[in-house]
Amino acid sequence: MQDKVLKTLEFTKIIAHLQKHASSSLGKSLIEELTPKTDLDEVKHSQFETDQAATVYRLKGNVPLGGIFDIRSHIKRARIGGVLSPTELMETSSTLRAGRNLRRFLE
């Protein structure tokens, strides 16, 4: 997408506003990677997902996302046989626990 269009849309302000509402560093980094979609099918799919998320929020309230950390580097190190620090183990444990809580919430 052209820089002029993004500037006109004040896209950087939108991204900054979204990041204020992110509950994890992983969420914030994913928001930084967002770009406007130009494919109609992608837009429709994203709107459907947003509608589903809004319905879950309306019916059940806040989604329990606390305790989630970006553990991608921890997983990579563990896969190659590296040793994780106590902090990395705690972050991994917390993220797994948060995943179980989220699964229960959605079920």
Q: How far apart are CA 17 and CA 12, in angstroms?
A: 9
Q: 3-class SS at 59?
A: helix
| 8 Å CB contact between 34 and 16 | no
Q: How far apart are CA 30 and CA 18, in angstroms?
A: 11
Chain segment 55-101, per-residue pLDDT in tens = 988 988 888 888 888 899 999 999 999 999 999 999 999 999 999 99
Chain segment 19-47, per-residue pLDDT in tens = 998 877 788 888 999 988 889 999 999 99
Structure pTM? 0.65
Q: Which residue has the higher pLDDT, 54 or 63?
A: 54
